[in-house]
Chain A
Amino acid sequence: NAGVMQNPRHLVRRRGQEARLRCSPMKGHSHVYWYRQLPEEGLKFMVYLQKENIIDESGMPKERFSAEFPKEGPSILRIQQVVRGDSAAYFCASSPGTAFNQPQHFGDGTRLSIL
């Protein structure tokens, strides 16, 4: 019974390159959330998606960041023209729905390092 799968676990990029982070939710889960964790800080909400729809992107930076959750395949968090400040751990979580007794299950994260 696989949990939330994120890949890669570690990603190194040079400034100006693109970073693509992938998240496969738990089986039967149709809701995906992305969070960012900066060093020594808690997780900050970025975006909430359902299949083919962005439900809440209030935590996404206005530029360079985008997310999608296509009908087929994993959810993708894309960061264009990365900068040093993008270095962080990015976590994906999934849930079967928005009923509030259904907690989110987290993946092990992608550690993004910008050289």
Chain B
Amino acid sequence: AQSVTQLGSHVSVSEGALVLLRCNYSSSVPPYLFWYVQYPNQGLQLLLKYTSAATLVKGINGFEAEFKKSETSFHLTKPSAHMSDAAEYFCAVSATGTASKLTFGTGTRLQVTL
């Protein structure tokens, strides 16, 4: 079974500051990990994915995430926040060897202030 824990349901940063959104996972098999972003009244858009290749994954809009097996973490970062980054961010995990249903965390709402 898989699960995801996102620490911090709300994160607020100043424009230009570092963005760090935390995600820890639990999986009995090597996981595939994803970050999705959701803007109000819209669906989820894939930011990046980890599929057992490079541990540092670069995504769209300047985001990246590092897979750390020893820490069971997959934190999302961006060096400099922009106002347009304000949204809800979801970390998700899927198991290898099974149907690829996604198990989501509860989400982190990112607020970007001037």
Contacts and interface: CB of A to CB of B under 8 A. Distances in A.
Interface of A: 4, 6, 33, 35, 40-45, 48, 55-56, 58-59, 91, 93, 95, 98, 100-109, 111
A91 B44 CA distance: 9
B34 A42 contact: no
B32 A100 contact: yes
A106 B42 CA distance: 9
Contact of B46 (A56, A103, A111): A103
Contact of A104 (B51, B102, B107): B102
A91 to B, nearest CB: 6
Contacts of A48: 99-101
A111 to B, nearest CB: 8
A109 B43 contact: yes
Contacts, number: 64
Nearest to B109: A40
Nearest to A47: B101
A107 B43 contact: yes
A100 B106 contact: no
Contact of A41 (B96, B99, B106): B106
A1 to B, nearest CB: 15
A42 B99 contact: no
B32 to A, nearest CB: 5
B73 interface: no
A55 B99 CA distance: 8
A91 B38 CA distance: 12
B107 to A, nearest CB: 5
B102 A100 contact: no
A78 B81 CA distance: 41
A33 B94 CA distance: 13
A101 B44 CA distance: 17
A26 B16 CA distance: 36
Pairs A-B, 3 closest by C-beta atoms: A106-B43, A42-B104, A106-B44
Contacts of B25: none
